[in-house]
Structure 1
Amino acid sequence: MTPRLNKPTHAPRDPLAEALGRPVSPDEGLTEHTVVAYWPGLNHYTVGDEQKVWRSAQWAEHLEGPYLEHAFTACPNDDRRAILHLDVRLHPDDRELTGPEWAETAHRLARAVGVEAPGEENGCRWIAVQAQPQRIDLIANLIRRDGNWHIPPADALRRLSEESRRIEQDLRLIPVRNAPGPQAATRPVPTASAQLATALTQLTDEQAGPLATVRGLVEHTADRIARQSGAADADTAHHLELIAHRLHAIQQDLDTTAARLGHTGRPGVAAVPPAARNATRRTP
């Protein structure tokens, strides 16, 4: 299982569309086979509801509801991007999970990032969508039902990764890194391909690699410029976001090349994609 924590956004429609693999629709109903789990407090909103299946647009509206109910709630730095989106992908050769197994996985992931606590009904609104093969998406609003802002743990991605390892073991799934077979008596000398793969991996490392550092500076500059007024500033910020997106694509291409060369030292690059990929601008 490979978890990915996406950049927070203002609205849930784009994350939900990405999870579904198609646009959010006012006509398409999502059954329990697609929305496999959700926050416990949802029961307060469905009592007496004659409609058995919610449309995908209704799910998006439900997730966006806390913005209207708590119009002045924001995180400590006054950021109102409250929509958290994470996705987890299974190994391509993994078996198909059952509905209850997907639901258990979703609740464990929700607890790992703190949007759910056992017995808590005043927490964050969240749903888990299983609409694409070997993948589950969790979308949450960080504004709690009681009006407080939930701050995910600083090491949320590490917690997700650790919980993914435990889920792999409990559900007998293929781990990210297969255990090696019997060790040879002598350690093989690295090939030229392996050495090149290691160099590429260091170049694309998301924590300390030079490409990630440059991309971070570009994203930071774009965010600063976007806060200024004026069409020219908005165009410049958008252009910088596109540059960050291209840098991220280069990282992914190099990381894929490293994998083809035989390097298995770490999972895929860029667990948190650049702002350009998930940026959602709210119209006045």
Structure 2
Amino acid sequence: MIPYIHEAEFFPSFPLSAALGHEMNEQDVLGDLVVASAPLDSSIAAGGPQAWRFADWEEYLLAPRDLHPYAAGPNANDPEIFHVAVRLHPADRDLRPPEWAEIAQRLTRVTGLAPAGDERACRWVALQARPGRLDVIANLIRADGAWARQPWPLQEVLRTECHLIEGDLGLVPAQPHRGRPLPAHLLAQRPALPRTVADHSPPAVAAQLATLMCQLADETNGPIASVRGLVEQAAHRLEELPHAYGPDAAHRLEWIARRLHGIQQDLETTAADLPGAGQRAALVSITPPAPHSAPARRSR
């Protein structure tokens, strides 16, 4: 299960449309696409949430701003509409509505939207409108006028909870990763093959190759991490495209990034299992000298 936090918005119409995968008419009824929501009191639950139109959910999610016009986030002008989506692995089974509802409840708890037993929590709605995907959209202004306190780092908290959900529901696990873009100067770095050591014994050679594999798998400046960072950035940009092909392509790229992270872990495991791997700490990676610049061409 892959979690993705979308950029916050001032109006819920944008994340609602993104969750549905297309623009909706304000009079369209969302019906069974709504798998869970914050508890609705009798004054606003006329007809039940299953009968609510797109415009009703917009109004519901915007209401905290009208009720508490002076509520402000940590940076004063922060948008208050929060949107997180999770995707299942393509090989996962089809989940039943109660299972989607359970996932939504767990996500709202760990993200600080609706802590257990909190009767003044945020308004939120969970939509299961696209295959293998759940979207949770909320207003970060609580019923008491305070701003929701979300854990940090939120992405790591979500990954941990998704991993627990995978185990509890018997889903295909996703390899965790840090999900952050790498700085440009790290993207340009590549590890060098360790220099040959004088000791040619099998443990020494194995230790040298273990060092190489650890360099390849290095999370800071290894080449696989660099490629993974670029793939993740491309996935996030595609996710925001309004066209239908964007989210599907982004989903595939996110799983490619997971497989790349799995390769990194396999390399680290292989390196640890090699004979003499304990010696690799003494083998210092030596960066090759910078290549000599080519002589300038003479102008004709």
Partners of 1:256 and 1:96 in 2: CA distance: 18
Partners of 1:105 and 1:150 in 2: CA distance: 20
Matches for 1:21-36 after TM superposition, within 5 Å: 21-31=21-31, 33-36=32-35
Cα distance 1:174–1:196, how it changes in 2: closer, same or farther (>3 A)? closer
Partners of 2:153 and 2:49 in 1: CA distance: 39
Contact persistence 1:197–1:259 (CA under 8 A): no
Partners of 2:48 and 2:35 in 1: CA distance: 20
* Aligned twin of 1:202: 225
* Aligned twin of 1:54: 52
Partners of 1:18 and 1:44 in 2: CA distance: 29
Quote how far apart the aligned CAs of 1:118 are: 2.4
Partners of 1:125 and 1:81 in 2: CA distance: 15
Matches for 1:115-264 after TM superposition, within 5 Å: 115-177=113-175, 199-203=222-226, 264=263
Contact persistence 1:197–1:261 (CA under 8 A): no
What per-residue deviation string (whole Å, max 9, x for no partner) do you get for residues 170-225 of structure 1? 110000139xxxxxxx99x7999x9599844432566xx9x98xxxxxxxxxxxxx
Partners of 1:69 and 1:111 in 2: CA distance: 23
Contact persistence 2:35–2:100 (CA under 8 A): yes
**What amino acid maps onto 1:123 in structure 2?**
A
**What amino acid maps onto 1:84 in structure 2?**
F
* Aligned twin of 1:183: none
Contact persistence 1:114–1:153 (CA under 8 A): yes
Partners of 1:203 and 1:15 in 2: CA distance: 30
Structure scoring higher RCO (CA < 8 A, sep ≥ 6) equals 1
Matches for 1:1-150 after TM superposition, within 5 Å: 1-31=1-31, 33-40=32-39, 42-49=40-47, 53-150=51-148
SS at match of 2:137: strand
Contact persistence 1:85–1:140 (CA under 8 A): yes
Contact persistence 2:30–2:50 (CA under 8 A): no
Contact persistence 1:197–1:257 (CA under 8 A): no
| Unpaired stretches in structure 1, ≥5 consecutive residues | 179-185, 213-241, 243-250, 267-284
**What amino acid maps onto 2:111 in structure 1?**
V
**What amino acid maps onto 1:92 in structure 2?**
P
Partners of 1:38 and 1:143 in 2: CA distance: 15
TM score, norm. by length of structure 2: 0.61
CA RMSD of aligned residues (A): 3.7
SS at match of 2:41: helix
Partners of 1:61 and 1:140 in 2: CA distance: 12
Quote how far apart the aligned CAs of 1:58 are: 1.4
The number of equivalent residue pairs is: 215
* Aligned twin of 1:182: none
Cα distance 1:264–1:65, how it changes in 2: closer, same or farther (>3 A)? farther
Cα distance 1:6–1:105, how it changes in 2: closer, same or farther (>3 A)? same
| Unpaired stretches in structure 2, ≥5 consecutive residues | 177-205, 234-240, 242-249, 266-300
Contact persistence 1:204–1:255 (CA under 8 A): no
